Every structure is written in C-alpha cells, then in structure tokens.
Amino acid sequence: MTAPATMTEPGTIGLRDVGVSFHTDRGVVTALDGVTASLPASGFTSLLGPSGCGKSTLLRVIADLLDPSTGGVDVLGATPHQRRLGRDIGFVFQDAALLPWRTAVENVRLPLEVGGGVPQGRQANSPEDLLALVGLAGREHAYPHELSGGMRQRVAIARALICQPRVLLMDEPFGALDEITRDRLNVELLRIWQETGTTVVFVTHSIPEAVFLSQQVVVMSAHPGRIREIVDIDLPYPRGSETRDLPQFSALASRLRHLLEQS
Ligand SMILES: Nc1ncnc2c1ncn2[C@@H]1O[C@H](COP(=O)(O)OP(=O)(O)O)[C@@H](O)[C@H]1O
Ligand SMILES: [Mg+2]
C-alpha cells in the first residue's frame, strides 16, 4: 500500500515523506519522520499506535492545523489549506467540546455561524437531519449536560458533518467512553460512513476498534513517529457484533498486536 515518496495517486490523501519536528526548551522532538502513504478516497483508514507516536500530529497536518517541517500532503487533489478553506474537512476530538449553553441542534449549527459559513455553491446539511443520522432524533433541544458521553460524541460527529465535508478526521473520538457504548458507536459510525461516502481517518490506540472499523490500519511506532506497516483489513461490510467472532478478526488483531510490540 505504501506509495513511492515522490508521487501519490490522485483521489487519495497523499502523504509524501512527511516530517514534523517541534523545537522545545529540551531540544528538538521529532514527532513524525518519513511518513509516506496513500489513504484512499471514501475509505476508512485508522492510525494505530502507542501514545506519542504522532497520530494527532498527523491528523493536524492533514487538517491544515499544522505545517509539516518536511514533505508534503495533498487531500483529494488539493492542498490541506485549500481543503480547510473549502470547509471540506470535519474534525472530531476525544472531548466533544460542545458549548454548554447551546442545545444539541444549536451546537450542530455552530460551524455555519463562524469561520465564514458554507462556501458559495455548497449546500449545508440540515442540523435536524444530521441529528437523526447520528441517532439523536427527538433530542435536538437537549443541552449537553442532559446528554450522556456517547450522545455528546454523536452531537460532535453531527457538527463535524454539517458542511458536508469530504474528509472526516477523528482523533480518539470514543476513547473516553465505556466499552459497550464504544462498540455501539463503532457500528453507528460505519453506517454513517457508508451513508455519507466521506473519507474517514480515525485515530485510536485500541486494536479491536481499529480492526472492527477499518479497511486499512496504518500501524505506527514512536520516537520518532513512523509508519511501521499498513495492514489491509479484509473483513466484509456491513460489520456487526458477529464480525468480532470471526476467526479472521482475532487473527488480524493478533497481527496488529505483534506489530505494535515490535515498535
Ligand atoms: N506542540 C508540541 N510541542 C512540542 N512537542 C509536541 C507538540 N505536539 C506534540 N508533541 C510531541 O510530538 C510527539 C507526538 O505527539 P502526538 O502527535 O500528540 O502523539 P499521539 O497522538 O500519537 O499520542 C510526542 O512526543 C509529543 O510530546
Ligand atoms: Mg493523540
């Protein structure tokens, strides 16, 4: 799956020899080094690796929240900057970060009111439709404190989808949830991905979560953050609880575990 360093396929998120160094009081921290990959359009890719291996840094580079120190990135045939200005990138963090004084529907609508709103010629999704899509029909007027942690993450996903982004970047969005809620949201997320056709890049340090969700898993190692291997997850969709019982599921999980142990 790894593309040569000088070219990336069109229609992908192309990472060409991406390096990121931070200059700190204690010296230079190399967060990413020589990261080269093509993440397919409309695909579901997970970044898996130990804490500190540069997963969040890589998402921030794709989202144009951080410039790489070396190398380049293109996002479906445009620069990250062009994609950000075009509101083509949605971002979901571990903490839903909802405004407590706004209802669910008002939180979902927020991106339409800030940062220039939706670019001309683009249609925003309806906030009500999005809340239905994430399973929160009927809770539109609830305030964040009236919602469970899982429900708040659903609102954050709906908010990230408001401008119909082509790319959805998710940084450990379910990391703070209990396992049962996480499993349920994983199933929901796959349905949303298939209904919207968006390109998902999903960060996790959970092996079962990466296997369950992804078409491919980018296994990373730390210090410096590098790609160790890209593993195709050849399990059929739609996936559900029976997927976790498949022998291939355990085999893939065990393969990822071995790769992580070597890193
Ligand atoms: N703004 C920053 N300044 C200095 N070091 C940073 C900064 N952001 C991240 N790092 C360092 O870069 C490395 C990768 O961080 P990060 O991308 O957050 O890893 P992960 O998300 O995989 O846990 C870590 O060593 C982290 O301490
Ligand atoms: Mg992180």
pLDDT in tens, 11-23: 899 999 999 999 9
Is the domain of 106 the same as that of 221?
no
The rounded distance, in Å, linking the Cα atoms of 17 and 5 is 6
Q: What 8-state DSSP symbol labels residue 236?
A: P
Closest atom, ligand 1, to C-alpha of 24: 4
Cβ neighbours, 10 Å, residue 32 = 27
Q: Give the residue, by CA position, lying nearest to ligand 1 atom 7.
A: 22
Query: What residues are neighbours of ligand 2 (ion), with CB under 5 Å?
Result: 56
Closest atom, ligand 1, to C-alpha of 225: 14
Distance 53 CA to ligand 2 centre (A): 8
Tell me if residue 38 falls in helix, strand or coil.
strand
Give helix 104-113 / helix 149-160 axis angle, nearest 10°: 30
Q: Which two tokens stand for residue 1?
A: 């799956």
Give 5's pLDDT tier (boundaries 50, 70, 90): very low
The rounded distance, in Å, linking the Cα atoms of 127 and 106 is 8
Last residue of a domain, one of 147, 164, 181: 164
The rounded distance, in Å, linking the Cα atoms of 84 and 205 is 26
Closest atom, ligand 1, to C-alpha of 205: 22
Q: What 8-state DSSP symbol labels residue 118?
A: S
Ligand 1 neighbourhood includes 29 CB (under 6 angstroms): yes
Is the domain of 115 the same as that of 21?
no
Is the domain of 160 the same as that of 172?
no
Q: Provide the domain limits for residue 151.
A: 95-164
Is the domain of 223 the same as that of 257?
yes
CA geometry: angle 105, 99, 46, nearest 5 deg: 80
Last residue of a domain, one of 149, 164, 179: 164
Is the domain of 54 the same as that of 174?
yes
The rounded distance, in Å, linking the Cα atoms of 242 and 112 is 39
CA geometry: angle 71, 74, 76, nearest 5 deg: 160
What pLDDT sits at residue 2?
A: 43
pTM summary value = 0.94
- Omega of the bond prior to 50 within 30 degrees of 0, cis? no
- CA distances (Å), origin 258, targets 85, 88, 105, 225, 229: 40, 36, 44, 18, 11
The rounded distance, in Å, linking the Cα atoms of 114 and 97 is 15
What pLDDT sits at residue 120?
A: 78
Ligand 1 neighbourhood includes 8 CB (under 6 angstroms): no
Is the domain of 16 the same as that of 114?
no
Is the domain of 76 the same as that of 202?
yes
Cβ neighbours, 10 Å, residue 208 = 18
Is the domain of 204 the same as that of 150?
no
Give 263's pLDDT tier (boundaries 50, 70, 90): low
Residues 6+ apart with CB under 8 A from 56: 171, 203
Last residue of a domain, one of 164, 192, 209: 164
Ligand 1 neighbourhood includes 57 CB (under 6 angstroms): yes
- pLDDT beyond 80 at 8: no
Q: pLDDT digits over 203-241, tens only?
A: 999 999 999 999 999 999 999 999 999 999 999 999 999
Which amino acid, 251? A
Q: pLDDT digits over 94-115, tens only?
A: 999 999 999 999 999 999 998 7
The rounded distance, in Å, linking the Cα atoms of 189 and 15 is 25
Is the domain of 82 the same as that of 131?
no
Count: domains in the chain: 2
Ligand 1 neighbourhood includes 52 CB (under 6 angstroms): yes
Q: Give the residue, by CA position, lying nearest to ligand 1 atom 24.
A: 52
Q: Which of 21, 56, 203 to mutate to test the pocket of ligand 1 (most atoms within 8 A of CB)?
A: 56
CA geometry: angle 149, 151, 154, nearest 5 deg: 115
